[in-house]
Amino acid sequence: MVKIAPSILSADFAYLADEIKKIEVAGADWVHIDVMDGFFVPNLTFGAPVVKKIRKVTDLFFDCHLMVENPEKYISDFKAAGADQIVVHVEATKHLHRCIQQIKAEGMKAGVALNPATSLTTVEEILPYVDMVLLMTVNPGFGGQSFIESMVPKVARLHQMIEERGLQVDIQVDGGINAQTAPLVKAAGATVLVAGSYVYGAQDVAQAIASLKD
């Protein structure tokens, strides 16, 4: 069964605790937390202090997507704040293997993320060490962008790479996921769907989450 990870990037930050409870009761599997530094991506969001505060309101799995340069600098802060998984971009660190080891050593799950134009060859060597690969289906930085259709065959190729190696690695997709695009990525092998504007923009959040799972 595919897991749904609503992104709080599209939540109303003035009511963050309520917004997280809303997705919890609506059947979300994970909380997707988009951390942006204004350097790796042209936008800013929040950091570990906010994660620490929202840790008090839910037991849901915290999936932290670090869109920051040199993510290794923040790993222990996110662990202390209550992160369950940290996902770093292959484009953002010079020492990806060391960074993944650091995340694992802190007792968290580890993932790597790829921008749309980054080749799957960049994850070939790290694949045996990670729990998840995140394929961006938009250019990172903002919610509410349109899904890049050419990412569907990329999901399928990653699925094949994982199968060929006999590995257990989740494939997450992030950006432009809604009831129309979800079936395409699921058919290609995605196992975790991030959705921000589709879930938080819905009148009926439970129905929106269910529509992604169907």
Chain residues that interact with ligand DX5, rule: CB under 6 A: 7, 9-10, 32, 34, 65, 138, 140-145, 174-177, 194-198
- Smaller CB distance to ligand DX5: residue 101 or 145? 145
> Residue 37 catalytic?
no
Partner from ligand DX5, Zn ion, none contacting 47, C-beta within 5 to 8 A by type:
none
Exposure string over 154-184, b if 16+ CB within 10 A, otherwise e: bbbebbebbeeeeeebbbbbbbbbbeebbeb
CB of 165 to ligand DX5, least distance (A): 26
List 65, 89, 154, 186, residue binding Zn ion (CB under 5 A)? 65
Closest CA to 198 of 153, 147, 155: 147
Of 29, 63, 170, 174, the catalytic one is 174
Q: Which residue has the tokens 């923009």?
A: 201
- Smaller CB distance to ligand DX5: residue 47 or 196? 196
CB of 34 to ligand DX5, least distance (A): 5
The answer to whether the CB of 34 falls within 8 A of the CB of 65 is: yes
> Residue 34 catalytic?
yes
Of 12, 29, 34, 59, the catalytic one is 34
CB of 9 to Zn ion, least distance (A): 7
CB of 211 to ligand DX5, least distance (A): 14
Alpha helices in the chain (DSSP H): 16-25, 48-54, 75-81, 96-105, 151-164, 182-188, 197-200, 205-213
Closest CA to 4 of 63, 77, 85: 63
User: Active-site residue numbers?
Assistant: 34, 174
User: Which residues form the interface with Zn ion (CB under 5 A)?
Assistant: 34, 65, 174
